[in-house]
Amino acid sequence: MKLAIILWGIPWAMRVCSWVYPKFAEALKERDAVAQFRTRGQPMGRWIQVKNGKVSSGAGFHAQPDFSIYFKDRKTAADFLTPPFDHLERIHAAKNFYITMEGPDDLIVWFMHLVASMETYTWTKGTDMGDGVTRYTNGTNGGPIFVYVKDGKILRTTPMNLDESDPDSYTIKARGKEFKPPRKTTLAAHGACQKSMVYSKNRILKPMKRVDFDHKGERNIQNRGKSEFVEIEWDEAIDIVASEMKRCKAVGPGAIAVANGSHHQWGNLGHYLSAFNRFWNLIGVTKLMHSPDSWEGWFWGAQHHWGNSMRLGATEPYGTIEDCLKNAEMMVFWSSDPDASYGFEGTQRRRWAKELGIKMVHIDPYLNHTAAHLGGKWISPKVGTDTAFAQALTYIWITEETYDKEFVEKRTTGFEEWKAHVLGEDDGIPKTPEWAEQETGIPARDCRALAREWASKNTYLGAGGWGIGLGGACRGPTGAQWARMMTILGAMQGMGSEGSNFGNLQFGAPVDMNFYFPGYAEGSMSGDLAYSANSTNNYQRMPHIVTMNSVKQVIPRMWLPEAIMGKPKLGYVTAVDSVVGQFFPIGYPSPGHVPVEMIYKYGSSSLGTQVDSNRWINMYQHENLKFVVNQSVWWEGETPFSDVILPACTVFERWDIGEWLNVGPGYVHHMYSMNNHRVISLQHKAIEPEGEAKSDYDIFLAISERMDLGAVFSEGGNSELEWCKRAYESSDAVKTMSWRKFLKKGYFVVPQEPEESRPPLGLNWFYEGRKKDVPEPYPLPSDFVENYGEGLQTPSGKYEFVPTTLKRFDDPERPPVNKYIKTFENAENEPEVAAKYKLRLLTPHSRYPFHLMGDDEGCFLRDIREHRIKVGEHHYLTCRLSREDAAARDIKDDDLIRLWNDRGSVVCAAQVTDRLRPGVISAPTASAEYRPAGEPGKSTDLGGCVNVLNPSKPITTKAHGIRPNGTLIEVEKWTGVDTWKPAAPVEAA
């Protein structure tokens, strides 16, 4: 089409759109502008004026345009402006300066967005249910949902029922039975309480400023967490934030740090790996080096034996669900409670296993949710002693010669050295069941019975929450030893042979694993090739402009307070591309960079999630930290430790898109195979934001515009909905369902994989000595020893009982031979602490909130008595303790109790139980609230932040990972009078 005609057509389209769509007419009135389109080469042009909502236009050049858009030539302009738009070509034009712009950034973004948005007015969103009700769809961390809306308010949210128009579900045939999952999605508690979260009284509805903070005068840093806040207008809030950012940028590279949680609301676009990363890459900031939270022992320990660095040390899940149901005779759940935090798709499959009569054994100091539901043998070792129990199992296998000798011979190295250790040839201590009994408290006969049953039966080892790794005992001080032992048990029983593998029926359902839809860790619109999985698929499938952070300084997340307070500690890199990458230390401050003086905190509350969390309070009140922004949806414990608060909206109040549990390639590749159906949902903007909350995207855009980065950030005025469309069109789903249909229906179920083309059984290739044939592109081609696809990601290509990589590194707590090292704070290694405190604390993830999402006051979850118990006016965090320990302290159900040690003190409500071994306390890290009885950081917390008790020591000396399980504490009835003080003086400024 000729350029003149196209340019003439744009204002006409705008006029027509404003006649037909009143909302567009309103948008036209927002601002006035004269846009000049022109070519650089052969001068021609047209101007378009928007004034008081009216559109006028003329050929040629306007005398006083507000902004100009230059095209290299007529052809470039015609291609750029003719729909349907080819994003690859458009980006190509922008990157190579075929197109340039001149004028106020915010006005250009506004105008470009206005023009681009015309198409969206023709779209129908959601399903009309009659009676004024529209059914929208959304996604949560707990599963996808239907959202019923009436009169602009959410009426209800439900799991999705699949109907006849959706593809059939898979069938698994096992031992004469056929199993088919229910035709609906399941939902974790934190997904089922979303309506109460949207309308929670804890929502932040207006931007706020601390009353005694003046960025041009007195900052009163010491009052963070104590002073009140006043509401301010968005303009003022953005002005302060942008001016402080400019001030910090002038100080030097790295002066601004961003701190985000590990998770976000569900959705590819709004995730921190997307809009947040894109924005901060454009600004240049010190980022946090997240540790491999929840994979600690697998990452720092297990991977040295078998590689799997891309999975953070966990193993491959393929085909294990079908194989377990068909061939396993026993399942050993070791520190494995999938029913706690991963939704209930796996619960359905574990019930099939129960129906088939597969024996179940549960090893956990707590008779966990999965164990209570399934039944079976409960083995409850003393906290941190699991390694001794596992070593004794191998002692039986060695002495009774019941390990898989052929596998050990052909596929492993180092067995003789390992065997010598187990038999006590190196240290004089044979690792007998009787020896283990002294450590674990488990009768030697139980150990022998389990070892013999395991060796004689096809056994699935469900290690950690997903069975293939993650969570549980891997998170304690002995977590690396434990995870290493799990791999040793697998190797000695021929992992990968039919019926003998890793898994607990949580991961590896026979869904289609080729069908592409982007996962959230692909970074969506981030353009961040360095710190997301963007480069693997998303960058090619959804062409968008690359962004890079020019600041090279990073801070190990565990040590953020120490870094800010001027006493930095060394961290280690969470490297996933190789096994040895984790040996690289990271320091702070980095060469040529400056110390951080501003933190931009993004969602979640570190006081609930980070160990030794009183450190955070000390950091926030430290004079080195000149400015703190907190961008949050809800008012949480950490929120008041800031200067300016920016209210973000929920995912129900903005657009997003995502697939249920699809993380993307990387640390949980094919995570959606935890589900029985792959469900992709459009996350409809179902309601307008509460109060003046804005989407994260719009907040970042507003700040960008203050720095003339708006057009770059939004890639020329793209709205969130347009980004959703681009994401959808990058996927394989669009080949089956058009964007318009998807927009209306809201979800797409991926057709099931035919039985004959399901992926092969995980590790079976290794067991049989074939080339790797499961559909994961790991390890990197360079990390195979000889031929591509042959062997494991170890220096030998074999399973290594005594890892070569640990031999090359010196960490006293990770000896190459996996010795049993007693847990910390015991009579031998820390006698003073052990004399003072007698109870060991477990702080698992909560079953009900997602970390602490859903714990805010006003959320339904607070009425769940296994999560919080209402005493007086307040809901206290539920803490489980054994009948014996309770009786010794005269504690009854629902009593308020205080948990304390030298690091912290916190009040909970008691749940007395027989499901815990005496001496063990279990209280989840689920508190969004922090409510100090006195001075913040120096008094007892009534909110339930049990992480104030956990130490900030790393999992092993030379690692960057937390160890939140097994901390020594004492417990007493709460007197109501706070006498607790930190044992050592808190470091002053």
Partner 1 sequence: MAKKWNMIVDIERCNNCRGCFLAVKDEHTGNDFPGYAAEQPAMGANWLDIERKERGVYPIVDAHFMPTMCNHCDDAPCMKVGGDAVKKRADGIVIIDPVKAKGRKDIVESCPYGSISWNEELQLPQAWIFDAHLFDTGWKETREEQQCPTNVFRSVKVSDSEMQKMAVEEGLEVLQPELGTKPRVYYKNMHFFTRCFVGGSVTGLVNGVDECIEGAEVILKKDGSEVGRAITDTFGEFKIDKLQPGSGAYELDVSSSVGKVASSFELAADSVYLGVLELV
The smaller minimum CB distance to partner 1, of residues 86 and 446, is found at 446
Q: Is 158 in the site for partner 1 (CB under 8 A)?
A: yes
Shortest distance in whole angstroms from residue 181 CB to partner 1:
10
* Residue 239 or 446 with smaller CB distance to partner 1: 446
Q: Which position among 8, 85, 120, 159 is part of the footprint of partner 1 (CB under 8 A)?
A: 159
Binding to partner 1 (CB under 8 A) within 657-676 occurs at: none
Minimum distance from CB of 127 to partner 1 (Å)?
15
When asked if residue 348 is in the footprint of partner 1 (CB under 8 A), the reply is yes
Determine which residue in the list 48, 112, 275, 379 makes contact with partner 1, applying CB under 8 A.
379
Helix axes 696-706, 105-117, angle to 10 degrees: 140
Q: Is 520 a catalytic residue?
A: yes
Gap between the Cα atoms of 316 and 781, Å rounded: 17
As measured in angstroms, the least distance from the Cβ of 359 to partner 1 is 7
531 is catalytic: no
Q: Which amino acid is at 755?
A: E
By CB under 8 A, the residues from 904 to 933 that bind partner 1 are: 913-915, 917
In the bound state with partner 1, the residue whose beta carbon lies nearer, of 396 and 693, is: 396
By CB under 8 A, is residue 864 in contact with partner 1?
yes
Q: Which stretch binds partner 1 (CB under 8 A): 280-288, 384-392, 438-446, 462-470?
A: 438-446
Which is catalytic among the residues 21, 32, 199, 263? Answer: 263
- Spatial CA neighbour of 532 closest among 853, 253, 268: 268
Assess 329 for contact with partner 1 (CB under 8 A). Answer: no
Nearer to partner 1, 77 or 198 (CB): 198
Give the residue, chosen from 25, 205, 232, 444, that forms a contact with partner 1 under the rule CB under 8 A: 444
Q: Nearer to partner 1 by C-beta: 155 or 734? A: 155
Residues 6+ apart with CB under 8 A from 416: none
Q: In the β-sheet with 656-659, what is the strand arrangement from edge to edge?
A: 656-659, 679-683, 747-749
Interface stretch with partner 1, choices 79-87, 193-201, 206-214, 902-910 (CB under 8 A): 193-201
> Considering beta carbons, is residue 256 or 489 the nearer one to partner 1?
489
CA distance 445 to 297: 28
User: Which one is catalytic: 66, 293, 698, 895?
Assistant: 293
CA distance 632 to 683: 19
User: How would you classify residue 323: left for phi > 0, otherwise alpha for psi between -120 and 50, otherwise beta?
Assistant: alpha
34/852 with CB nearer partner 1: 852
What does the per-residue mask of binding to partner 1 show for 532-571, with x meaning CB under 8 A? ----------------------------------------
Q: Return d(Cα 365, Cα 917) in angstroms, integer.
A: 6
Q: If DSSP codes are grouped into helix, strand and coil, which group holds residue 550?
A: coil
For residue 302, the tally of other CB atoms under 10 A from its CB is 33
Structure tokens at 232: 């301010």
How far CA 360 is from CA of 40, 335, 453, 462, 967, in Å, comes to 74, 13, 11, 10, 29
Among 10, 109, 162, 193, binds partner 1 (CB under 8 A): 193
**Token couple for 167:** 């593809």
Q: Which stretch binds partner 1 (CB under 8 A): 157-165, 253-261, 383-391, 496-504?
A: 157-165
C-beta of 233 vs 863, nearer to partner 1 = 863
CB distance 48 to 34 below 8 Å: yes
The span from the CA of 969 to the CA of 966, in Å, is: 9
Nearest approach in angstroms of CB 321 to partner 1 is 16
**CA nearest neighbour of 421 among 886, 816, 863:** 816
Nearer to partner 1, 182 or 543 (CB): 182
Please tell me which residue in 170, 272, 366, 520 is annotated as part of the active site.
Answer: 520
Residue 635 Cβ vs partner 1, minimum distance, rounded to whole Å:
16
Residue 321: alpha-carbon gap to chain centroid? 24
Does 871 engage in binding with partner 1 (CB under 8 A)?
Answer: no
Q: Which of 75, 153, 770, 838 binds partner 1 (CB under 8 A)?
A: 153
Of 339, 352, 351, 342, nearest to 172 by C-alpha is 352
Closest approach, Cβ 826 to partner 1, in A, equals 22
Question: Does residue 171 interact with partner 1 by CB under 8 A?
Answer: no
Query: What are the residue ranges of helices labelled H in 493-646?
Result: 538-541, 560-564, 606-609, 614-620
Residue 375 makes contact with partner 1 by CB under 8 A = yes
Cα 426 to Cα 280: distance, rounded to the nearest angstrom? 53
Among 101, 251, 372, 734, binds partner 1 (CB under 8 A): 372
H-run or E-run covering 454:
helix 444-456
Binding string, residues 208-247; x marks residues near partner 1 by CB under 8 A? ----------------------------------------
- Subset of 836-855 contacting partner 1 (CB under 8 A): 848
Instruction: Give the nearer residue to partner 1 in terms of CB position, either 626 or 915.
Output: 915
Q: Tokens in use for 553?
A: 């300084």
**Dmax (CA) of the chain:** 94
Where does this chain touch partner 1 (CB under 8 A) — which range of 61-69, 188-196, 267-275, 974-982?
188-196
CA 609 to CA 587: how far, in whole Å? 23
Match 């759109």 to its residue by tokens. 17
CA distance 652 to 799: 47
Distance between CA atoms of residues 348 and 280, nearest Å: 42
Query: What CA–CA distance (Å, rounded) separates 403 from 751?
Result: 41
Q: How near is the Cβ of 162 to partner 1 at its closest, in Å? A: 12
Contacts of 516 (CB under 8 A, 6+ apart): 537, 541, 731, 732
Q: Is residue 377 involved in binding partner 1 (CB under 8 A)?
A: yes
Q: Which residues contact 258 (CB under 8 A, 6 or more apart)?
A: 276, 280, 285, 286, 287, 288, 599, 600, 601, 602
* Residue 449 binding partner 1, by CB under 8 A: yes
SS3 599: strand
Is residue 116 involved in binding partner 1 (CB under 8 A)?
A: no
CB of 195 to partner 1, least distance (A): 5
DSSP 276: I
- Active site residue ranges: 263, 293, 520
**Residues in touch with partner 1 (CB under 8 A):** 131, 153, 155-159, 161, 182, 184, 186-189, 192-193, 195-196, 199, 339, 343-345, 347-348, 351, 359, 367, 369, 372-373, 375, 377-380, 443-446, 448-450, 453, 848, 858, 860-866, 870, 883, 913-915, 917
